[in-house]
Structure 1
Amino acid sequence: MTHTIREKQRLLARVRRMRGQVEAIERALESEAECEKVMHLLAGVRGAIAGLMAEVVEDHVLTHLVDQEKHPEALNAEAAEQLLVVIRTYLK
């Protein structure tokens, strides 16, 4: 079972919140809201998508890069965490 299936409901909840954020952008544009409000809404969606991407990438790294059952000594936990720190920073 992949991590996206295992975490399906939680990930879908995040996507649904993002959908609500995108709909708020649409409403703001339709109502000719101030640029500042639209930019804040856009920044929120961008952050939400980056957060989701970081979570999926992190789970992927920890789940799929090395099969811990077949190669228990192959996973360098410190190196994996260093990579994830870089990814989290990049996606902010």
Structure 2
Amino acid sequence: MSHLEKEKQKLVARIRRIRGQVDSVEKSLGSEADCADVLMLLANIRGGINSLMAEVLEDHIRNHMMGPEKSPAPSVELAEDLIDLVRAYLK
């Protein structure tokens, strides 16, 4: 995960926004809101999750796979790790 406190706070803020969106879906379903409105809320949640996932993935690559202790030249192992991450992300 992100090693800077400021970055951690940004990620936590994103999670809280997503949680608020999920709560809105629950309220909408309970009040029998219009299906189009519920679908829009769900699309917003999916976008928020995808954005958060991309940021965490980028953070992982930068800090754990390509950090200063790693060699600058990409390796087959690094490529395989990246492929595995992307595949898991796209499931």
Q: TM-score range by the shorter chain?
A: 0.7 to 0.9
Report the counterpart of residue 32 of structure 1 in structure 2.
32
Q: Distance in 1 between matches of 2:21 and 2:53?
A: 16
Scaled by the length of structure 1, the TM-score of the pair is 0.71
Q: Distance in 1 between matches of 2:54 and 2:17?
A: 16
Q: Distance in 2 between matches of 1:74 and 1:35?
A: 51
Report the counterpart of residue 12 of structure 1 in structure 2.
12
How far has the Cα of 1:73 moved from its partner? 2.8
1:74 paired to 2:67: no
Change (3 A) 1:40 1:73: same
How far has the Cα of 1:63 moved from its partner? 1.0
Change (3 A) 1:33 1:63: same
Report the counterpart of residue 46 of structure 2 in structure 1.
46
The one-letter code sitting in structure 2 at the alignment partner of 1:35 is: C
